[in-house]
Amino acid sequence: MGLNIVQKILTSHLLSGDINSGEEISIGIDQTLTQDSTGTMAYLQFEAIGIPQVKTKRSVAYIDHNTLQTGFENADDHAYIQSAASKYGIYFSKPGNGICHQVHLERFGVPGMTLLGSDSHTPTGGGLGMLAIGAGGLDVAVAMGGGPYYLTMPKIHNINLIGKLNPMVSAKDVILEVLRLLTVKGGVGIIFEYGGPGVSTLTIPERATITNMGAEPGATTSIFPSDDITRRFLKAQGRAQDWVEIKPDPDARYDHEIEINLSSLEPLAAAPHSPDNVKKVRSLTGIKIHQIAIGSCTNSSYTDMMKAASILKGKTVHPDVSLVISPGSRQVLTMLSQNGALSDMMSAGARILECACGPCIGMGQSPATNAVSLRTFNRNFEGRSGTPSAQVYLVSPETAAVSAINGVLTDPREFGELSNIQMPQNFLVNDNLIIPPSKTPQDIDVVRGPNIKPFPLNKELPDILNCKALIKLGDNITTDHIMPSNAKLLPYRSNIPYLSGFCLTPCDPDFPARAKNENGGFIIVGTNYGQGSSREHAALVPLHLGIKAVVAKSFARIHMANLINSGILPLTFVVESDYDSIEAGDVLEIRNAREQLNKDNIILTNVTQNKEILLKLNTSPRQIEILLAGGLLNYTKEGR
């Protein structure tokens, strides 16, 4: 039987397990990437593992998230990461060089290789035919040390693209259609492999927009074939030698197939406050807009920017709209400045931001109270913009730029067609902001400013867990709820004790104080707990507060792995309706916890309600050992 692309890459990287079993497998990792808001933890953990030099083919540390420097903290983190990168064999992409996913696509991604990144949008690399997976920092640290990456073998779904996008319909509309069809939990445990005749109509940046935002349905990753278009992109980046063809065998099989007809798509928008709240732009036209932001790792490529620039050329941004544009990389920004497109944007009244995540992670540009903000980003969770009352819609660059002129949400097809925007024959290549690692690492001292605090370590799992249900929450709680991030909190990503004062505060401002008073406890939640970011702070901060277990209807993939790595039990209900029989404040007990972990079901006693509930751990035997040891670092220290 023939193999699909995912099976081919997994087979060539397989270290243990069987890709047909549906069980845990492990793979070798060729490349890693980190960014600054998860990177400090990843490098502290790499240091704790104690391996002197990375063993990957390529590891890159990017600075792109915490680029506002309103105090010493972010600069401290950058200095730590730069010195650690230099010492341990990692390339360092300086602030100003661009957003990790955009730069990695341009300068480092290689078809057929595996990439593990401490950021949930690492699957952007799938646009080039890489198997690119987002993970917590500790998993990335292990991979940098040459260790395997473990994952439960996902199902492989084929998304068969037919037809061709109509003018002013965009790659963003393709992934919004996927979200409309599947919702924010429809991709959990799945890898999306794109195929079909429509693939050859899409450029690499368009494919990367689609794989990037495949993180939103919760997919393990998404991938496109590597074809002649991939070859031309790499050649234009001066990297023709990195190209290999990757395509599925003609008789390849998939667990499921979906067909999307590109010709029948129209401009879409994800309405507040979830990326799957997808509506036709045409049904929303006329909504008054206050702010528009074009950029982020989803839509900040050269061609995205050129589309925005050619719509704005010779026009003026509506008086009531603030338009901010952040090109994804210095390569993009320099090319726009050389061909005049930057002037077109500025003349129209756009505010040009540096090449970084910026408003996407609430690093500035928070909208006004109750304001409507159109963003070409990938997440519109409530409060993520930094303004809880803001109404954020996710749209394509075309929709954003046309609406910026009109001041109201506008179907971009009203603008007419864009004159042909071509992929460049040659990109402008200048890697002088990428600092190679030191050739004399023994001479490098790692710089640790006062903002770098040790990360918390758990203890062995005790035999009895007896504590309160500290909070009870509903479905789709995001990591932005568990560990909010904004310009005020991001500087403390290296300071878990400080961050712990903000854990789950968007849901309940008293949660941190209660957790401290009660000496920890349980968290009770609905489905898809921990969707969104890869930030392991959403596990480390609860660990610091003494959280012993999260009992959920279901978990998002990366967050569940982060809980296990931290030694917090991720338990699910055997009978979902048992969720109703626990109230916040109930005293819960798991007796003989260590022994019970190896059983099919775990008995939880609700002492307050005098009721027993059956729970389960959807983990591998290896993960059970990690939980017994009190987390991955303890487990690794035990010599395994």
Tell me which residues touch ligand MIC (CB under 6 A). 37-38, 65, 119-121, 361, 485, 532-535
Nearer to ligand SF4, 446 or 490 (CB): 490
Residue type, 148: P
Binding partner of 318, given ligand SF4, ligand MIC, none, CB within 5-8 angstroms per partner class: none
Six-digit token pair at 86? 């230099």
Six-digit token pair at 272? 């507040």
Binding partner of 157, given ligand SF4, ligand MIC, none, CB within 5-8 angstroms per partner class: none
Q: Which of 156, 270, 293, 357 touches ligand SF4 by CB under 6 A?
A: 357
Q: Does 378 bind ligand SF4 (CB under 6 A)?
A: yes
Q: Does 185 bind ligand SF4 (CB under 6 A)?
A: no
- The whole-angstrom distance between residue 141's C-alpha and the CA centroid of its chain comes to 17
Sort 352 into a burial class: Cβ within 10 Å, 0-12 / 13-18 / 19+: middle
Q: Which of 18, 219, 23 is nearest to 618 (CA)?
A: 23
Q: Does 355 bind ligand SF4 (CB under 6 A)?
A: no
Sort 71 into a burial class: Cβ within 10 Å, 0-12 / 13-18 / 19+: exposed
Q: Does 297 bind ligand SF4 (CB under 6 A)?
A: yes
Sort 256 into a burial class: Cβ within 10 Å, 0-12 / 13-18 / 19+: exposed
β-strand 155-162 against 190-195: which pairing, if any? parallel
307 Cβ partners below 8 Å, 6+ apart?
Answer: 170, 397, 398, 401, 418, 421
Three-state SS sequence of 309-333: HHHHCCCCCCCCCEEEECCCEHHHH
What single string gives the DSSP state of each residue in 90-121?
-EEE-TTSB-HHHHHHHHT--TT-EEEESSTT
Binding partner of 380, given ligand MIC, ligand SF4, none, CB within 5-8 angstroms per partner class: none
> How many residues lie near ligand SF4 (CB under 6 A)?
11
Residue type, 102: Q
Six-digit token pair at 345? 């944007």
Q: At what angle do helices 397-406 and 302-312 cross, to 10 degrees?
A: 20
Tell me which residue has tokens 């080039």: 128
Find the shortest distance in angstroms from Cβ 598 to ligand MIC. 32
How many other C-beta atoms are found inside a 10 Å radius of the C-beta of residue 319? 7
Q: Does 106 bind ligand SF4 (CB under 6 A)?
A: no
Q: Does 119 bind ligand SF4 (CB under 6 A)?
A: yes
Binding partner of 17, given ligand SF4, ligand MIC, none, CB within 5-8 angstroms per partner class: none
- The whole-angstrom distance between residue 551's C-alpha and the CA centroid of its chain comes to 23
How many other C-beta atoms are found inside a 10 Å radius of the C-beta of residue 261? 14
Nearer to ligand MIC, 8 or 535 (CB): 535
Q: Does 376 bind ligand SF4 (CB under 6 A)?
A: no
β-strand 602-606 against 587-590: which pairing, if any? antiparallel
Contact string (CB under 6 A) for ligand SF4, positions 257-296, x = contact: ---------------------------------------x
Nearer to ligand SF4, 86 or 298 (CB): 298
Nearer to ligand MIC, 148 or 275 (CB): 275
Phi, psi (degrees; rounded to nearest 5) at 428: -80, 110
Tell me which residue has tokens 């001479």: 443
Q: Report DSSP state, residue 381.
A: B
Nearer to ligand MIC, 273 or 535 (CB): 535
Find the shortest distance in angstroms from Cβ 532 to ligand MIC. 6
Nearer to ligand SF4, 13 or 121 (CB): 121
Find the shortest distance in angstroms from Cβ 478 to ligand MIC. 9
Q: Does 404 bind ligand SF4 (CB under 6 A)?
A: no
Binding partner of 296, given ligand SF4, ligand MIC, none, CB within 5-8 angstroms per partner class: ligand SF4
Nearer to ligand MIC, 203 or 534 (CB): 534
Nearer to ligand MIC, 111 or 542 (CB): 542
Binding partner of 335, given ligand MIC, ligand SF4, none, CB within 5-8 angstroms per partner class: none
Binding partner of 534, given ligand MIC, ligand SF4, none, CB within 5-8 angstroms per partner class: ligand MIC
Nearer to ligand MIC, 301 or 486 (CB): 486
Which helix (H) or strand (E) covers residue 261, if one does?
Answer: strand 256-261
Site of interaction with ligand SF4 (CB under 6 A): 65, 99, 119, 121, 296-297, 357, 360-361, 377-378
